[in-house]
Amino acid sequence: MLIVKNGYVTDPATGMAGEKDILIEDGKIRTIAEAGTAETSAEGCDVIDAAGLYVAPGLVDCHVHFRDPGFTYKEDIDTGAAAAAAGGFTTVVMMGNTDPHPDSEATVKDMLDRGAKTGIKVLVCGNVTKGMAGKELTDMESLINAGAVLFTDDGKPITDAGLMEKACVEAARLNKVISLHEEDPAYITDNGINAGEVAEKLGITGSPRDAEISMVKRDIEIAERTGASIVVQHISAAESVELIREARKRGVKVHAEATPHHFTLTQEAVLKYGSLAKMNPPLRLESDRKAIIEGLKDGTIEMIATDHAPHSREEKAGDIKAAPSGITGLETSLLLGLRELVNPGYMTLEELIYRMTKGPAMVYGLDAGSIKEGADADLVIFDPKGEWDFVSSRSKSSNTPFLGARLPGRIYGTICRGNIVYDNGLKKN
């Protein structure tokens, strides 16, 4: 038995807000009571005193790369889960650019079995196409039966419009979401850096915004025809935000995610941080960053996802044109949300928490993102007014421009299914 007492509990999904005691038994929330009223003298009862701290639902990230199987020198399921727990996440969904890919029941089950041993909820996508080759659809129904919670070829766009339409028809039949990496390679010479002034200074062509915009427009039209539910991953262009806003007004089932790096940084970061600020799609202009923030604010963008993408130091240290795209982000996501969205007044803390909990859970139909009696005891305990120095990472990789930064907010602990999976100074009696 575990009691989290005296914390300020905020659950935007239910509207609950106030100082509460949470009694946890057998991994579930048994009782939520007014602060100071829970009995704490029972034998074998552990107590966490969360006075002065916020207690929120465990965070949900439906877009992480744990590189396992196949590329475990960058990350593996255990280290990725440890980084997630340190960032307050209790539920994550692994992407499918692994080797082998999760395009078979056996691989999906293997990834899930190993994720179940980490202490947090590590879920798995299924690929849209076999081998992520964009040629032939997977057996989506069999992958769902194996445990896949969504479909994506993340890292590769589905360039064949006819195949994309067939995928949408099948996903709609199965009531599952397709999550899309929207960058048409026909537009791109050098990916990872926005085509513009910064790319020109570096002597490369870069990735133009039309690579994203064209595919977002195409796939909204396909979703509208088929009735499928799609997600535009890691949105980067203001025009894409507006296309989604207008489509949602028409009732199209199109959703979007924003990454912390896209609402925090612009293309100029590449000049300061080099390949640590190289990612797909690239960082763009200040006007794009502001459009993403406005999309998060008005609900056009329903969720924040890290696109946690670890790479080795050696890979990132080479020539910027050759270096792989992607940055890590699980440990800094909530804190960057505080710094860039809440503290400047763009969003309330409750709105930020919603975008990181119930928002993604609702889009993908996951049983997560809320604090209620009878539910799994998945919680993050944090101080939004504190500070934290990001000096080392639990990930195998540290390819992030935020390493070494002092960030607002401090995560004190993460609880998943009633177990403390991250302890950064919790007060325990």
Domain harbouring 103, CATH code: 3.20.20.140
Q: Is the pLDDT of residue 143 over 70?
A: yes
Check which CATH number belongs to the domain holding 418 and give it: 2.30.40.10
pLDDT band for position 38 (cuts 50, 70, 90): confident
Q: Is the pLDDT of residue 44 over 80?
A: no
Q: Is the pLDDT of residue 294 over 90?
A: yes
* Catalytic residue of the set 307, 376, 383, 389: 307
Among 315, 332, 364, the domain boundary falls at 364
In a domain, 370, yes or no: no
**pLDDT tens-place string over residues 193-211:** 999 999 999 999 999 999 9
Q: Is the pLDDT of residue 63 over 90?
A: yes
Whole-prediction pTM value? 0.98
In a domain, 167, yes or no: yes
240 and 275 assigned to the same domain: yes
116 and 196 assigned to the same domain: yes
CB 63 within 8 Å of CB 328: no
395 and 258 assigned to the same domain: no
H-type helices in 74-196, by residue range? 77-86, 105-115, 140-146, 161-174
> What would the mean pLDDT of 163-170 be, rounded to a whole number?
98
Look over the chain and give the mean of its residue pLDDT values, rounded to a whole number: 97
Among 364, 385, 407, the domain boundary falls at 364
pLDDT band for position 40 (cuts 50, 70, 90): confident
Q: Is the pLDDT of residue 41 over 90?
A: no
Q: Is the pLDDT of residue 26 over 70?
A: yes
> What pLDDT score was predicted for residue 318?
84
What's the structural domain count of the chain? 2
In a domain, 113, yes or no: yes
> What pLDDT score was predicted for residue 349?
98
236 and 385 assigned to the same domain: no
Among 364, 393, 413, the domain boundary falls at 364
> What would the mean pLDDT of 164-183 be, rounded to a whole number?
98
**pLDDT tens-place string over residues 69-89:** 999 999 999 999 999 999 999
**pLDDT tens-place string over residues 327-378:** 999 999 999 999 999 999 999 999 999 999 999 999 999 999 999 999 999 9
- What is the Cα 217 distance to its own chain's centre? 23
> What pLDDT score was predicted for residue 429?
82
**How many Cβ atoms sit within 10 Å of the Cβ of residue 56?**
29
In a domain, 428, yes or no: no
Which is more confident, 262 or 40? 262
Q: Is the pLDDT of residue 56 over 80?
A: yes
108 and 204 assigned to the same domain: yes
228 and 358 assigned to the same domain: yes
In a domain, 322, yes or no: yes
106 and 41 assigned to the same domain: no
291 and 413 assigned to the same domain: no
Q: Is the pLDDT of residue 110 over 70?
A: yes
Q: Is the pLDDT of residue 186 over 80?
A: yes
> What pLDDT score was predicted for residue 64?
98
- Measured in degrees and rounded to the nearest 5, phi and psi for residue 417 equal 50, 35
Domain that holds residue 404: 2-55+375-423
Share of the chain above pLDDT 70, in %: 100
Instruction: Could you list the beta-strand ranges (E) of 26-166.
Output: 28-34, 46-49, 54-57, 59-64, 89-94, 121-124, 151-152
155 and 192 assigned to the same domain: yes
96 and 159 assigned to the same domain: yes
Q: Tokens 């999550």 sit at which residue?
A: 179
In a domain, 346, yes or no: yes
Contacts of 315 (CB under 8 A, 6+ apart): 74, 323, 324
pLDDT band for position 214 (cuts 50, 70, 90): very high
**By CB neighbour count within 10 A (0-12 exposed, 13-18 middle, 19+ buried), where does 269 fall?**
middle
**By CB neighbour count within 10 A (0-12 exposed, 13-18 middle, 19+ buried), where does 256 fall?**
buried
Q: Is the pLDDT of residue 401 over 80?
A: yes
334 and 387 assigned to the same domain: no
In a domain, 279, yes or no: yes
Based on the residue annotation, tell me whether 389 is a catalytic residue of this protein.
no
pLDDT band for position 42 (cuts 50, 70, 90): low
In a domain, 429, yes or no: no
392 and 323 assigned to the same domain: no
> What pLDDT score was predicted for residue 39?
77
> What would the mean pLDDT of 154-162 be, rounded to a whole number?
96
Q: Is the pLDDT of residue 97 over 70?
A: yes
